Amino acid sequence: MSVGHPSEARREHTPGVLGNRMAFVDVLRAIAILTVLFHHLPSGLGHHFGKLGEWGGRGVDLFFVLSGFLIGSTCLERAATAGERGPGNQAKAYWLLRSARIFPLYFALLAVYALGLPGFNPDAASILRDWWRPYVTFTSNYFAQITLELGIFWSLAIEEQFYLAVGLLILVCSRRRETLASAFLGLSLAAIAVSLVYRHELFALRADGVLPEDLYTFKLFHSTLSRMDQLAVGLISAVASHAFNGWKWARSGYQARLSTWAVIALCLGFLVYFPHHPVVGFLVIGLVFGVCLLWVQRPAARMLILGRWEGRALGPLTYIGKLSFGLYIFHPITRTWVDKLLPTSVLPADSVLRAVVLLAVWIAVTTVLAAVSYQFFEEPLLSAARRKSRSILQPPAEANPGAAAPGRLAERELSAGVAGPPAS
């Protein structure tokens, strides 16, 4: 939410001032996607990075919280600025923006996989030709996967199922921001309760020997009922941010730099080192990520005046964060390419040097591919969706020349596509 304090408004135009609510949120997205890459290093290389290789898959936990926050924030902001446009138009804009962000790249990549082109995993083509329905309906999280290329879509399926519930609430509750916020809060609390009960029952069935270990693990990590509480925590964070950002200490610049980076470090540390509990673990780590997210998006963090080196460090991270959806989508493909490109005669298969070089080249290649895809394929479609959503949400200028434009954060939802890796 923008903060209407005159001094803060002036600082947004000062050189070196961050002035961007999303910058540190993008840093968190960069942390999430980079830890996913650590987790998905080729077999035999991940152990060189210790806990990052072992628990980097928890980047999906952070992605879920971020996704719930970004979707909730944009929907609440649109509800507050839509004027006389009713819930039906709110729902149209919501689904238009979500579809424009996810569907083009997702279905284009599925089509490429199905064609079985050289350089792509032939197993993915075989699976899609015989078993395409779970991927088209975003229910692939209920089925075991044998390829990383298709296996990563489980978390995207969970998000789309959760977004369906959010869309239904928008359809009936978005006439006023306060009503929609209450509906989001109710949905989130219900989702958290269901997830806790579901994981408790899973744990009890495993303890009684009814549920085999492999099936228990699959359901624990991939079921929507088990994982939706982290999306719910993100949604609660979005609801809470309006009041949170108005508090004096959330706007105070005292030790803002130190506390912001400390919270980011805490977020990374929790991601890597937090001991998992089968019932409450996902919720606890989600709550920690939710608090971290609230802190890094607060007005004081947004108004930081960056130092030269700090700005240089923040630039690549925010860029990677903005492209996190593309990096996630493409990283299984580029991993195979880079692994084959680096000769084992020069870089031995299980060496630290190979792990470091492969990771660096992999990140670079995937970032370039994601940037090209966004610039020339995704962004033109997103721009058209933005224009259409404005026309849906705004009354004609002749009828209401003073109508407020949808908030700037709504524009950023389109780069909020998030998903995570399998927890295997």
Quick: pLDDT tens for 227-236.
Answer: 999 999 999 9
Are the C-beta atoms of 149 and 127 separated by less than 8 Å?
Answer: no
The pLDDT confidence band at residue 70, using thresholds 50, 70 and 90, is very high
Q: Residues 347-352: what's their mean pLDDT?
A: 89
Whether residue 136 has pLDDT greater than 80: yes
What's the rounded Cα separation, in Å, for the pair 194 and 55? 25
Residue 1 placed within a domain: no
Per-residue b or e along 229-248, where b marks 16 or more CB atoms closer than 10 Å to that residue's CB? bbbbbbbbbbbbbbebbeee
Predicted local confidence at residue 39, as pLDDT: 92
Q: Residues 115-144: what's their mean pLDDT?
A: 93
The tally of domains found in the chain comes to 1
Tokens (6 digits) for 145: 């996967």
What's the rounded Cα separation, in Å, for the pair 184 and 170? 9
Top pLDDT among 1 and 264 is at: 264
What's the rounded Cα separation, in Å, for the pair 75 and 92? 12
Q: Residues 317-325: what's their mean pLDDT?
A: 95
SS3 per residue for 310-331: HHHHHHHHHHHHHCHHHHHHHH
The pLDDT confidence band at residue 86, using thresholds 50, 70 and 90, is confident
Are the C-beta atoms of 399 and 198 separated by less than 8 Å?
Answer: no
Residue 420 placed within a domain: no
The pLDDT confidence band at residue 21, using thresholds 50, 70 and 90, is low
The pLDDT confidence band at residue 413, using thresholds 50, 70 and 90, is very low
Q: Residues 88-113: what's their mean pLDDT?
A: 94
Residue 370 placed within a domain: yes
Instruction: Determine the structural domain holding residue 303 and report its residue range.
Output: 6-415
Q: Model's pTM, two decimal places?
A: 0.89
Top pLDDT among 74 and 409 is at: 74
The pLDDT confidence band at residue 404, using thresholds 50, 70 and 90, is very low
Looking from the CA of 9 toward its CB, the CA atoms found within 13 Å total: 5
As a whole number, the mean pLDDT across the chain is: 86
Residue 421 placed within a domain: no
Residue 423 placed within a domain: no
Strand (E) positions, 101-189?
A: none
Whether residue 408 has pLDDT greater than 70: no
Residue 199 placed within a domain: yes
Whether residue 10 has pLDDT greater than 80: no
